[in-house]
Structure 1
Amino acid sequence: MEPMVPGVERTELGKIAIAPEVIEVIAGLAASEVEGVAAMSGSFVGDIAERLGRRRNFAKGVNVEVGEKEAAVSVSIVVRYGYRIPDVAREIQENVRAAIENMTGLTVTEVNVHVVDVQLKDAEREGAEEPRVR
């Protein structure tokens, strides 16, 4: 008998395995769809690779732990200025949970949202960069 591997389901035709990276992509896309999310926040190296034109990383800022039937997710985001952070975070939790459960059949036990920054509006950002003395 083969040992159970996390995220693997056996059927009469064979086995179905969902890689943790797939769940990260699902979670990243679901979180970025929420209004008020300016960006996903990833690692320094990942940010540089994305800016240099490498492929876009849809799992940026997402970490998952996958068991046989359950998954726990953590997402790191940047919120747009003017949005109520607790409301954005709760909507991310619901959107991520629903997307993963609908697409994979796994039960999501938790979705942790880490707000790492606030993105200012373009007009405010431009005004903040102007020198105070000319």
Structure 2
Amino acid sequence: MENTFIMNQGNGVVRIADEVVSIIAGIAATEIEGVAGMSGGITHGIAEMLGKKNLSKGVKVNVGESEATIDLFVVLDYGVRIPDVTRAIQEAVKQNVETMTGLTVLEVNVFVQGIKLQGTGDKEKDEIKLK
């Protein structure tokens, strides 16, 4: 059984799956301007770009009794100011997860896995990957 966050609300129990927290965090992250997509991590030295459709991938959550820590693996657009974009990601993820689930988010860690270039139409040339 997958991990769940359990709330007793008096009328019964509400269970929120970790996958739900991951999806909320993924959506919040990809809505930030400058985020090209989520990264599946390092596979054979290459950052696997997952785009904006696979929203729970590239997100790792650790949910406790009433708090969570979240790790996000992202690919950013070329030319953005990385500290500004990552700070915006942290703030949006924290706010959305706390508002939608009632969890207290202790940490949002952002790992920049690559940079996406614009415009050539060649996927291999449009993304700078980690080695």
**1:101 aligned onto 2:98:** yes
More strand by share: 2
Paired residue for 1:30, among 25, 28, 31? 28
Query: Does the 8 Å CA contact 2:4/2:18 hold for their aligned counterparts?
Result: no
Unaligned runs of 5+ in 2: 127-131
Match of 1:132 in 2: none
Task: Point out 4+ residue stretches in structure 1 off by more than 4 angstroms.
Answer: 123-126
More helix by share: 1
| Distance in 2, Cα, partners of 1:41 & 1:93 | 16
Query: Equivalent pairs: percent with the same residue?
Result: 46
Unaligned runs of 5+ in 1: 130-134
Equivalent pairs, count: 117
**1:19 aligned onto 2:28:** no
**1:80 aligned onto 2:77:** yes
Q: Which of 1 and 2 has greater Rg?
A: 1
Amino acid at match of 1:33: E
Q: CA deviation at 1:23?
A: 0.1
TM-score normalized by structure 2?
0.80
State the superposition RMSD in angstroms: 2.6
Paired residue for 2:114, among 106, 109, 117? 117
**1:63 aligned onto 2:60:** yes
Q: CA deviation at 1:12?
A: 2.1
